[in-house]
Amino acid sequence: MVEVTLKVNGKSVTKSVKGNTLMTEFLRDELRLTGTHVGCDTSQCGACVIHVNGEAVKGCTMFAAEADGAEVATIEGMASPDGTLSVIQQAFQDHHGLQCGFCTPGMVMSAAALLKDNPKPTEAEVRDYLEGNLCRCTGYHNIVKAIMAASGQDVSSIAAE
């Protein structure tokens, strides 16, 4: 067992875990933060995207022990403490950027990382950035539109594919 201490969504946490415990397992099973989804366990789908020290990371590719001392943000930490949705979450709702919702946490976390690094991305940049996130329900059109809207850009000219 390995003792892991980190800050998750602003709260300090210390837990003993097996050395091979993945971040997705740690978050879901140990901390009961089930918004981080497990879709493939092979780093293909992006449903498990979290932020570790401000960088987007696929939680299924990282051991919890590797995050010792880190600051971790999950989808549960995106909304305000009073439950008000973040700008990105609200844009996903306003522009119907989700259907079943399974990929949505990873999409929102990826969008947040993109907009942090590139506050006004082009449509092509958004699509390129989301290449590591799979959605099995949509054609990505409304997801892209939501991210563009969250960046404060006019989305009326984004054509459906």
What separation in angstroms does the CA of 126 have from each of 25, 53, 63, 105, 113? 29, 22, 28, 16, 11
Q: Is residue 9 part of a domain?
A: yes
Domain around 60? 2-77
Domain boundary among 55, 77, 99: 77
User: Are 66 and 92 within one domain?
Assistant: no
Q: 71: domain CATH number?
A: 3.10.20.30
User: Are 11 and 70 within one domain?
Assistant: yes
- Could you give the strand order of the β-sheet that contains 55-58, starting from the edge strand earlier in sequence? 11-17, 2-8, 71-73, 49-52, 55-58
* Cα gap 65→53, rounded to integer Å: 14
> 12-67, pLDDT tens digit by residue?
999 999 999 999 999 999 999 999 999 887 888 999 999 999 999 999 999 999 99
The first and second tokens of residue 113, run together, are 């990382």
Residue 161 above 70 pLDDT? no
User: Are 101 and 61 within one domain?
Assistant: no
How many residues are there in the chain?
Answer: 161
Q: What is the mean pLDDT of the chain?
A: 93
| Secondary structure (3-state) at 138 | coil
User: Are 65 and 7 within one domain?
Assistant: yes
Q: Is residue 82 part of a domain?
A: no
Domain boundary among 77, 97, 123: 77
pLDDT of residue 137: 87
> H or E segment at 58?
strand 55-58
Domain boundary among 20, 48, 77: 77
User: Are 73 and 99 within one domain?
Assistant: no
Q: Is residue 11 part of a domain?
A: yes
